[in-house]
Chains A and B, each alone.
Chain A
Amino acid sequence: MSEGGTRTDFGSVWTPYLYIAVAVAALVLGTMLWVVVRYRAREVDGATGDRPSWLKRLEAGWIVVVAATVAVLLILTFRSQERIAALGSDPPAASIDVTAFQWGWRFDYGSGVAVIGNSERIPTLVVPEGELVRFTLTSRDVIHSFWIPEERFKRDAFPGRDTEFGLVFDDAPSTGRCAEFCGLDHYRMDFRVLPLPPAEYADWLGRKAAEARS
């Protein structure tokens, strides 16, 4: 379950949805274009012909097609939802508490290890590569949102609530952003995401814990 993570999951939903949406758009626009060209008035007071008898049957067929497409899309969505929920409940390799505030982020790793940054000094979220990381998210003041576009995932940070979710990171560093309007520095409340191979991550965590003790 932990292999792949939210980014892969997103792709398994987004790609079919996008293809279907483009196909529907092409069908509807193409039909419109054909109808407008075919039934263009030749003179200003042109008479109209009879309505084809097959229109009613086509309407019924179209409704069935739309309903069937909706059913397919919903199945894709529900399956993905199950996988995302599993990421939040499977045993994690690492647990990080995230606290959002106006205007920055605090990442708590346990054993006194904390990384804090703000819009002037962007913090870095160090995470292990390829393993499930459990996040517990909250806010100190207003609603913020923890968004890592590379992961295709976000969750809102509510004051007075803890929200849990799980993510798996591949090796690419990226940028995280705040995605819920939270005041003056909302637009630059970013954080860096730095995945490290598990052994390096363990070293980093060990060093930070040692610093915290001294």
Chain B
Amino acid sequence: MSTVPGQLRPVAPDLPGAFLSTDHKRTAAKLAWLAFGLFALAGIFALLMRTELAEPGLQVVSSGTYDQLFTMHGSLMIYFVMTPLALALGLYFLPLQIGAADVAAPRLTSFGFWLIAGGAATMLTGFLTDGGAGRAGWTAYLPLSGQQGTPGPGMDMWVIGVILAASGATLIAATVLVTAFRNRAPGMSMFRIPPFCLTIVFTCLMTVTTFPVLVVAMSLLLAERLGAGVLEPGGGPALYQHLFWFYGHPVVYIMFFPFLGAVAEVVATFSRRRLFGYNALVISLLLFTGGSMAVWAHHMFATGVLSLPLNNWFAFSSHLLAVPAGMEYFALIATMVGGAILLRTPMLFALGFLAQFLVGGLTGILIGSPPVDYHVHDSYFIVGHFHYTLFAGSLFGALAGFYYWFPKVTGAMLRESLGKAHFVLLVIGTNLTFFPMLLVGYAGMPRRVADYPPEAGFSTDNLISSIGAGVIAISMLVFLANLIVSLRRREPAGDDPWGGQTLEWATSSPPPRLNFRSLPPIRSRTPLLDLREGREP
């Protein structure tokens, strides 16, 4: 949607521009729209699954349909929602925060978007084929994902969809990375870039090093499905897992760090203080980025494929990541010390992120111990763990960023009351849904199951979990209502509604095509604080 800066209402919708523009902001907006739309679809799949699991017995769908639902829920959320959303946030705001006019390669970035969109279309079209969509989990382990285990074109289209998504994401991440290195405004040295940009730089580093490995794994899978015999039983399935998880662990950090970065911006702004421990954040991100590529086989502890010393190594490397995690938590909480904290909606979501991600992170340390994992691997304990990190963590961080930056992107403020209602309902729904999963997984319920026996003792926790999913859905309707009301009856935001510290607040809402008409002097990490406090050059 094109908007003349300073006007309250958008001008006529610009359809050619929506397709042809290479403005990084519009590419990012398209990517975000795609992610939001597919989030809703994947959410509907989740509601269907939770409806099925609310009580023992197959009442709602067949087991074959259920297998497609959980596969597509996970695949959409990881390949087409959280990863693209993380990149979209960086694509929109990194150039602004470093004082750049655009990204280093706008057309390549736009091409990346179309690859991702094409990948989603390909994967979803699988539903229309004879055998149905991909149904071997988002991880697609061999031999199940092979031609014999899962025959039909729907599974082939799933694999191609992943290849397209990973390729598009790599192009976007590479461009944003180069932009951070080469397009910084004068005075914006590398370690003056805001905390959010730091997280984006490391996110892009992880993306360009590990997403190509996913493309390799998927290409081998596709070749195997076409009869090439490259990943035959004996060693093939294990090799596939090694390749897949070399991507599969970094991707969860890729789906986390940009939102942690957004939370850092929000916490600093709404505490009215600069971030504490910038250097500690740099070191911790470096440790996480390198470490992310040294821990992958903690997803393979129970396979029996790794020797004891190797299992122990991956336990060791995985546990070590608790140290940088602790550093980051300290930095964020210490930022608030001595501050003047305003509990607006973005700050509520940021605090929710910090509190809830803790459950995900701590359960992560628990399962980083092989003896623990031998019990809970592939159970609902794992499902609970990664939903605490990804939903209760990353999504809350994404919402903190969304409520914070919505005024900059649209020029309109979101309603505080509806925002707070969204927050409260979402906290209740999130914990009702995912905490019982930890309990029922520990008690012996495997994951990826369409049903469970009534005598197993899983029924109560599953029912609570399903009720929680309903509460989440209601909270999202409140969110939707907020969006509609706020865009219909606009409260103009102005350039800087929050008293921000970083450069995106030094331009109009939304920014003009080349982002800035002029830039304030950049002599520290918080140019706008300097400007407001009248600092001498």
Contact = CB atoms under 8 A, between A and B. Distances in A.
Given A17-B365, A28-B358, A39 B336 contact: yes
A55 B359 CA distance: 25
B516 interface: no
A178 B446 contact: yes
A210 interface: no
B366 A18 contact: yes
B200 to A, nearest CB: 24
A145 interface: yes
Interface in A141-165: 141-143, 145, 147, 149-150, 152-156, 158-161, 163, 165
B237 A143 contact: yes
A25 B315 contact: no
A147 B442 CA distance: 12
B322 A155 contact: no
A122 to B, nearest CB: 10
Interface in A62-99: 62-63, 66-67, 69-70, 73-74, 76-78, 80-81, 84-85
A158 B453 CA distance: 26
A73 B319 contact: yes
Contacts of B359: 25
B375 interface: yes
A181 interface: yes
A24 interface: yes
B537 interface: no
A155 B426 CA distance: 37
B319 A177 contact: no
Contact of A158 (B64, B303, B308, B372): B303
A47 interface: yes
A180 B366 contact: no
B340 interface: yes
Given A32-B354, A39-B271, A50 B338 contact: yes
A204 interface: no
* Interface size class of chain A, counting residues whose CB lies under 8 Å from the partner chain: 35 or more
Nearest to A51: B338
A78 B448 contact: no
Contacts, number: 233
A25 B374 contact: no
A6 B371 CA distance: 8
A179 B144 contact: no
Nearest to A159: B233
B73 interface: no
B181 interface: no
B474 interface: no
A121 interface: no
Interface in B360-412: 362-363, 365-366, 369-372, 374-375, 377-379
B67 interface: yes
Contacts of B362: 21, 24-25
Contact of B378 (A28, A55, A147): A147
A207 interface: no
B309 to A, nearest CB: 9
A70 B323 contact: yes
A39 B341 contact: yes
Interface string A163-189: 101000000000101111111111110
Contacts of B234: 159-161
B237 A41 contact: no
Give the 5 A-B CB pairs with smallest separation, nearest first: A149-B444, A163-B304, A187-B449, A160-B233, A46-B340
19 contacts: A9-B371, A13-B372, A32-B333, A39-B341, A41-B342, A48-B340, A63-B323, A81-B315, A142-B149, A150-B444, A156-B302, A156-B305, A160-B233, A175-B444, A178-B446, A179-B446, A180-B378, A183-B149, A188-B451
Given A183-B144, A188-B451, 6 more contacts: A17-B366, A25-B358, A36-B343, A48-B273, A152-B374, A152-B375
Interface of B: 63-64, 67, 136-137, 141, 143-144, 149, 232-235, 237-238, 271-273, 276-277, 280, 302-305, 308, 311-312, 315-316, 319-320, 322-323, 326-327, 329-331, 333-334, 336-343, 351, 354-355, 358-359, 362-363, 365-366, 369-372, 374-375, 377-379, 443-444, 446-453, 456
Interface of A: 6, 9-10, 13-14, 17-18, 21, 24-25, 28-29, 31-32, 35-36, 39-42, 44, 46-52, 55, 58-59, 62-63, 66-67, 69-70, 73-74, 76-78, 80-81, 84-85, 137, 141-143, 145, 147, 149-150, 152-156, 158-161, 163, 165, 175, 177-188, 190
